[in-house]
Amino acid sequence: MNIKDLENLKDGQQVIELTGWVDNIRDHGGLTFVDLRDFTGLIQLVFDKSGDVDTKLKNEFYITINGTFKKRDEALINDKILFGDYEIEVTDLIIINQSKTLPFQIEDSIETDENIRLKYRYLDLRRQPMKVNIMTRSNTFKSIRSIMNQLNIFEIDTPTLIKSTPEGAKDFLVPSRKSPSNFYALPQSPQMYKQLFMMSGFPNYYQIAKCYRDEDSRKDRQPEFTQLDLEFSDASPELVKSKVEEIVKFVFSDAYDCKIKTPFNTLTYEEAINFYGTDKPDLRIEEKIFDITDIFTDTSINFLNDILSSQGSIKALHTKELLTRKQIDDLDTEIKELGSNGLGWFKIEDTNISGPLAKLLNDNEKSKLLSYGSGTLLFQAGIIKEIANFLDVIRRTVFQPLNNDVYSFVWIEDFPFFEVEDGELQPSHHPFTSPKSNEIFKDDPTNATALHYDLVLNGVELGSGSQRINNPEIQTLVLEKWGLSKEEISERFGWFIEALSYGTPVHAGFAIGIDRLIAEVLNQPSIRDVIPFPKTQSGLDPLTNAPANIEEEVLEEYNLKYINKDE
């Protein structure tokens, strides 16, 4: 019997072998009250003081009791909890297992260092909020499988020991004992394998896949994460997006008891950057970035003249409130740390304009600025792609969502095919994404657009997808434009290009980050809070102390050795 089963009992009925953890102990004169907790709930136990229960029991002892299920006295009823009007008068007690002194209390709200919580994660998971998070995760998996069965999409698994292939981050490598000096890699995604299923003639595919990326952890990233992968044959981006909307709508209704509207909004990448400063806009925030370049075409403000003469622009946001000088200075410091030259601002009060640059304004500029009405005008000047991030931070810092309980989805599409990272050309998605126009890509790949689409929820990128390349010549060309030599292409991707060469159908797919989805739905500060056993931001597991050193004799079996181990 568990605690929830007590709903079927009547006042005065015998309870047989109810088992759980001691949640709380209260000494009330001749009686001792103990809250018993199991996975399904909590109920109050009553012990006669003569048994010295308060000295026998401690928090988190695991016990079994027999007793009588009874209505509480009217004055002792707690109508805020299940079974708050009942208790059990205990007749028999068996202590199954004792508990050491706890490193932290098993309570809903705790202020404990995260590393301590992760070191004792099995205790952390006993807390009700964590139980809700993990059960929501389980329900998400159930709902995904349910809708996939309804849509007749096949669940097929892919290997987790694969050949190392670039997908934007470093691989986790696994040495092969039977093939000395050679390595497997753990998959950053099932990308090429799910495409192989389309080449094999399967009409569709899905997998709840474990993926691995050896990169710095952040609140929305982990070295090991879980995603829903989808792929469809004879498919277009429109078909994939329609299927994803159907899946997401079902999961929100079935797993989260929440109704959402479809179809989702759509923005181009260019619109997202120009209006929101990011390709992950939070559309719950009403305010948009707007262009004020035309106000300053004849300005005497030298640095603005220099920027405009270099094909730059001036982008602004307007608050209806007058920001304090401290708010302005804090925002200025924040964006300077990100690389901005500083925050431009004007305070507008009726017919008066103030600010560091106000005295340099001409009459025409003053007149146009006054037309925005009282408030604070904040701006950045430069090439839009260089200042977009600063504008995004300003927008999210100064303005708040109109409604935090709304789920605002938006598709972002028409991404540039390539972007520059650390001075090198990188695909903005992955190198298996189809260009929107093969001809434009061949002539000018740096200005080509990709058939790549992201799904964003409340400013969080939930997932990405694309039309895949199904032509071996185009796939080879993409890899060449990326900067790989013919030898590198043959060594790393030859097997995949060979597979494309046997009548590959048009296909497209998508992947949703399940950890991010659940964290956003539950309004959790980090995906670590919805993963049962996550790593820290530095990639460590405090519970098991992984990663750990390996004995040198073991390494020798893999033809490996430490280099400067002690440094």
Tens of pLDDT, residue by residue over 240-265, are 999 999 999 999 999 999 999 999 99
Pair 247, 147 in one domain? yes
pLDDT in tens, 4-62: 999 989 988 888 899 999 999 988 878 899 999 999 999 999 998 766 787 889 999 99
- Asked if 185 and 171 count as a contact pair (C-beta separation under 8 A), the reply is yes
User: What pLDDT score was predicted for residue 81?
Assistant: 81
Quote the number of domains for the chain. Answer: 3
| DSSP 8-class letter at 170 | B
pLDDT in tens, 292-319: 999 999 999 999 999 999 999 999 999 9
d(C-alpha 207, C-alpha 230), whole Å:
7
Closest Cα partner for 243 from 461, 427, 507? 507
**Mean of the per-residue pLDDT values of the chain:** 93
d(C-alpha 361, C-alpha 353), whole Å:
9
Pair 11, 138 in one domain? no
Pair 386, 417 in one domain? no
Pair 414, 394 in one domain? no
pLDDT in tens, 124-159: 999 999 999 999 999 999 999 999 999 999 999 999
The residue among 342, 370, 398 that closes a domain is 398
Query: Does some domain include residue 252?
Result: yes
User: What pLDDT score was predicted for residue 162?
Assistant: 95
Residue 96 confidence class, pLDDT cut points 50, 70, 90: very high
User: What pLDDT score was predicted for residue 414?
Assistant: 96
Query: Does some domain include residue 280?
Result: no
Query: Does some domain include residue 106?
Result: no
Side-chain half-sphere CA neighbours of 212 within 13 A:
16
Pair 312, 393 in one domain? yes
Pair 50, 156 in one domain? no
User: What pLDDT score was predicted for residue 565?
Assistant: 61
Query: Does some domain include residue 156?
Result: yes
Look up residue 312 and give its amino acid: G
Query: Does some domain include residue 438?
Result: yes
Q: What are the φ/ψ torsions at residue 42 (nearest 5 degrees)?
A: -145, 140
Query: Does some domain include residue 465?
Result: yes
Instruction: Read off the pLDDT of each residue in 195-210 and give the average, rounded to a whole number.
Output: 98
Pair 293, 257 in one domain? no
Query: Does some domain include residue 138?
Result: yes
Look up residue 389 and give its amino acid: N
Pair 426, 537 in one domain? yes
493 pLDDT higher than 80: yes
d(C-alpha 113, C-alpha 90), whole Å:
37
d(C-alpha 225, C-alpha 241), whole Å:
23
| DSSP 8-class letter at 448 | -
For the domain that residue 66 is a member of, what is the CATH number? 2.40.50.140
The partner residues of 18 in beta bridges, in order of sequence, read 65
Pair 190, 251 in one domain? yes
Domain that holds residue 67: 3-97
For the domain that residue 354 is a member of, what is the CATH number? 3.30.1360.30
Query: Does some domain include residue 307?
Result: yes
User: 74 by DSSP, 3-state: which?
Assistant: helix
567 pLDDT higher than 60: no
